[in-house]
Structure 1
């Protein structure tokens, strides 16, 4: 007996994370359609694996059953969903839109309402881990979707994710992602300040690592964060200061609506805001250690 035809999957945003995710989708047997991108290399690579290319989000929706969005944040997501050439303009009944970006939950819930009124379904499935895991198909994702929609999309999610957590209704994925990133960026702020303290006190980075890196306080985030200060590896943790600042702004907006007292989150956000405002937003998160060092009259770790 023949298996039913697999749904056609669309992908918008084949950048650092999206290219690996899309590669896993097409390599594991799903028909894939990608939106053209200014960086042609990942698009052409995916086409060589069997993907097809379209020129607008509307065309993508017309050709697909399930569409992934993996872009910078809510303004970019909204631009792809709304408008004359947006996903919803296709009028595709039953279309499922999966937002894998780190987005503002307020925007997510508004888009979900618009999608429902257009006969489509909206899911938030933001990501955790790095481009290395995206390439391997072992990302983490935290999903906000109704039970029926989650059951439909779960096989596709598992093409690119090793850990899929269904949290509940739409919106919860992006809320949890922002909290997750607060913990991660909190680690970054803590490590950066602690490194500056150690160096001011006459300890080397290697001495700092000999204690922290061999004890209970070591973790996966520490390992990638420290690769810059210890080894000068600029690619160990490919997440920019401007993206970290954006995520902390989204979280600040969320907690303000909830009326939560959040002194630590405000301090973490301000650290990234300062580095972003200083024109260093394109640098990666581990380089926060250099920025905090400079504020304390110290040279960069990797000068």
Structure 2
């Protein structure tokens, strides 16, 4: 089987890496802040590298799943970066939600060395990562896509080739803009319901039966009604980062954007109040408290 490296053993990465091991691949991982997840993978048969350079030198394909483009660049460049250790034919698959400008820069630097790069960001949640049921949107030429598809299918239910290099990260930012716009609308609707004396359960029943219903509404309302945020395990800080990347991309394309800045303002407000580490459903409480009320 293909020798694979994995960097970013977080909530999503752990499930992805576990599925790669279970499908029979030799996996080398790089430790991060969650030692517990790393130790679990080592117990399942993974080996551990000390630097990105060492990991790249030991593998044919490396997947990264990290928070920001700055993190990806930190893994690729420098004396201990993957670019310094990778061999000819090496493939880097970045599953992070990243800035397409950075994506294209990294890809050009790889190409100059005879190395390959594909952007393959993810949709769905850590639950589906554990189950091997993620959605993946890939930016790559058809030949590279066909080569990496069996690897991606180890942890994905649906894999979409959405275009050439960079298209995956672009469409993911558009997807996340839509998702976080829905989330912000739901949060404001819940805060307004609380402020006007509307029972959130009555709001849930009505919206669930009509055209205003959405998957995002169904993921947020269990937190509103029961305090259960587990259906949307996505931190406010990450949502804010993704919206900032989306707006930068939209500005570069000279689009007319009115909703994106408003959504970013909502997320930035929550982040500035110290809630960046909390999950997106908590936006309902942030807006409620800014109205001078409690969730009740």
- Name the TM-score, length of structure 2 as normaliser: 0.97
Partner of 2:5: 10
Classify the secondary structure of the residue corresponding to 2:11: coil
Per-residue CA deviation, residues 137-184 of structure 1 (Å, 9 max, x unaligned), is 000010001111111100000000101000121100000000000110
Report the Cα distance in structure 1 between the residues aligned to 2:295 and 2:278, rounded to whole angstroms: 13
Report the Cα distance in structure 2 between the residues aligned to 1:91 and 1:189, rounded to whole angstroms: 42
Offset of residue 48 of structure 1 = 1.8
Runs of 5+ unmatched residues, structure 1:
1-5
Report the Cα distance in structure 2 between the residues aligned to 1:180 and 1:91, rounded to whole angstroms: 32
Partner of 2:191: 196
Partner of 2:156: 161
- Supply the RMSD in Å over aligned alpha carbons: 1.1
Partner of 2:120: 125
1:195–1:38 CA distance, 2 compared to 1 (3 A): closer
Q: More displaced, 229-238 or 19-28?
A: 229-238
1:50 aligns with 2:45: yes
Verify the 8 A CA contact 1:91 1:119 in the aligned structure 2. Answer: no
Matches within 5 A, 1:261-276: 261-276=256-271
Classify the secondary structure of the residue corresponding to 1:17: helix
Report the Cα distance in structure 2 between the residues aligned to 1:94 and 1:45, rounded to whole angstroms: 30
Partner of 2:172: 177
Report the Cα distance in structure 2 between the residues aligned to 1:246 and 1:200, rounded to whole angstroms: 29
2:290 to 275, 289, 295: 295
Report the Cα distance in structure 2 between the residues aligned to 1:38 and 1:183, rounded to whole angstroms: 30
Partner of 2:26: 31
1:209 to 199, 204, 209: 204
Matches within 5 A, 1:89-128: 89-128=84-123
Report the Cα distance in structure 2 between the residues aligned to 1:38 and 1:197, rounded to whole angstroms: 39
Per-residue CA deviation, residues 180-227 of structure 1 (Å, 9 max, x unaligned), is 001100111110111122222221111111111233332322221111
Runs of 5+ unmatched residues, structure 2:
none
Aligned length in residues: 296
Q: Runs of 4+ in structure 1 displaced over 6 angstroms? A: none
Report the Cα distance in structure 2 between the residues aligned to 1:204 and 1:37, rounded to whole angstroms: 43
Verify the 8 A CA contact 2:220 2:229 in the aligned structure 1. Answer: no
Report the Cα distance in structure 2 between the residues aligned to 1:192 and 1:40, rounded to whole angstroms: 34
